[in-house]
Amino acid sequence: MANAAFLGVEVAGGVAFGSLALFADAAHMISDVVALAMAYAALRIALRPPTERHTYGFGRTEVLVAEANGVLLLASAAVIVYEAIRRLGNPEPITAGGVLVIGVVGLLVNGGSAWVVGRNAHGNLNMRGALWHLASDALGSLAVIAAGIGAAVFDTDRIDSIASLFIAVLIVGGAWRLLREATRVLLEAVPADLDAATVRQALCDERGVDAVHHLHLWTSGSEHAALSAHVVLGGEMSLHAAQLRAGELKRMLDERFGIDHATLEVECHACVDDEVHTSENEHQH
């Protein structure tokens, strides 16, 4: 909430004090506000059950929104760069004191939020991502402060445009990561924190597993890893025993790799149940 409120302060300050750096930092902060809104929306969407048409549910809605957000961020960066270059050739006066005050307040807001999130970021990928966004916002606030000091001390308004270019670079970097991760999910690539060969070897190393083939790893929503594979079990066992073994393998995948949705097609050299079924059919004929 603090970041969303300060976003409005930066936009108002940009208008009142004529600072492009404040506008640029506000555009950068939009990504964080949108990211938090998307997280809340994803929580609400996750409550909706799958339907006959959407059997996987609606988890990837946030991925589509992330793609759109990335494109909008790139567009905003392009506008900022164009305006900053124009102002470098024809600098416009800014109100240094107001810009400096807002920059300091922004540094306090973003730094405080980063400190709060950082206390709970260990071992949580989403929280670490939020921490990175807040840290980059703090860097943007430092650029705004530099613009205010430059205008106040050195009486040069060009620093405002230079600071805006720096913030635009931060926006492009965040947008690129956002688009890359969203596209990776939509293309059903292997999650960035997993290695298919390592997961396959872990399955092969389990007791009673002779081979693993047709292994697929992807992300079912925005972050939940999913797996499907054919697992060949050695020796003769009943279908019930094979299913119990598959359950043990799924628990291993969840505990070791965080794969909470695994579909294993169990194959046996000779399933006892199948032999009995065949024998009974032959006896009836």
pLDDT in tens, 25-79: 666 666 667 666 665 676 677 678 778 887 777 777 767 777 777 777 787 778 7
CATH of domain 196-284: 3.30.70.1350
Return the pLDDT at 90.
75
Residues whose CB is less than 8 angstroms from the CB of residue 261 and which lie 6 or more positions away in sequence, other chains included: 220, 224, 225, 226, 227
Residues 37, 54: Cα–Cα separation, whole Å: 23
Task: Tell me the β-bridge partners of 263.
Answer: 228
First and final CA of the chain: distance in angstroms?
75
Q: At how many degrees (to 10) do helices 158-186 and 20-46 cross?
A: 20
Phi, psi values for residue 222, rounded to 5°: -95, -20
Overall pTM > 0.75: no
Rg (CA), the chain: 27
Q: Do domains 2-186 and 196-284 have the same CATH topology?
A: no
- Where are the chain's structural domains? 2-186, 196-284
Return the pLDDT at 264.
94
At residue 49, the 3 state secondary structure works out as coil
Return the pLDDT at 274.
46
Return the pLDDT at 205.
92
CA-based nearest residue to 264, from 282, 242, 236, 240: 242
CATH tag for 2-186 (out of 1.20.1510, 1.10.3470, 1.20.120, 3.90.1690) = 1.20.1510
CA-based nearest residue to 138, from 158, 113, 175, 169: 113
Return the pLDDT at 231.
92
Residues of the chain with pLDDT under 50: 123-126, 270-285
